[in-house]
Amino acid sequence: MEARTFYGCKENDQAVRHIPSDSEDSELEESDSEEEWTPESDGLPDDNESVDEEENEDDEVSQEDVPRSPRWRTPRNANITDYPEWQANLPKSDSIKSPYEYFKMFFSEDILEIVVEQSNLYAIQRDTNKPLNLTTKELEQFMGTAVYMSLFGLPGTRMFWNKATQVSQVADTMTLNRWEFIKKSLHFNNNEVRQEENVDPLHKIRLLVTGS
């Protein structure tokens, strides 16, 4: 295609001047003779080097994130062959006691009387018009129902008296109002005896510990 046809013909247009191929000033020959220019780094890291560094950093981070299995070491002076041995004999079937007898070994009559006395006193201190009138037998029933409740996974104590989730062993032993009243009044020591200078941390249960 001619240049005149491509660019259009105008009267003032000059003819396209073709550069002779044998000219010494040819730009094509100069471009071929010159070496290919490469940009200087100017102190900047190469792209390939930066990629390699990032990969190395990722490898280090990944290695740090991977949990390592612990190495167990045995102390030098450890004697792992010395284990405590059972020296006593298992009890015979005739000497095994009932659950109630084991309970009485921890909660004797003296302890139950102390709890009854202090609980009745605390109920009167709270409200003189509402005495508790707790007895040792009723206290044993309360503690028995509390232990029996621990065998179930009910989220609330009132559910043991609910019709849908009622447990007869608890509901038939004591009414709900009486059980909650004993629970609120349960006490082990007289609060009025404690003075300001008394810093005994076990004051609340001191009578259970010492018995007096």
SS3 95: helix
pLDDT in tens, 55-69: 555 555 555 566 677
* pTM of the complete model: 0.54
Among candidate residues 107, 143, 108, 135, the one with its CA nearest the CA of residue 119: 135
Per-residue pLDDT band at 81 (split at 50, 70, 90): low
DSSP secondary structure, 50-68, as one string: HHHHHHHHHHHHHHHHSPP
Q: What is the mean pLDDT of residues 102-116?
A: 91
CA distance 12 to 2: 17
Least confident range from 26-35, 102-111, 145-154: namely 26-35
Length reported for the chain: 212
Q: Note the pLDDT of residue 29.
A: 47
Report which secondary-structure segment, H or E, holds 7: helix 3-7
Burial string for 156-177 (b: 16+ CB within 10 Å, else e) reads eeeebbeeeeebeebbebbeee
- Residue 171 CB contacts under 8 Å (≥ 6 apart), including other chains: 160, 161
Among candidate residues 152, 144, 157, 149, the one with its CA nearest the CA of residue 107: 144
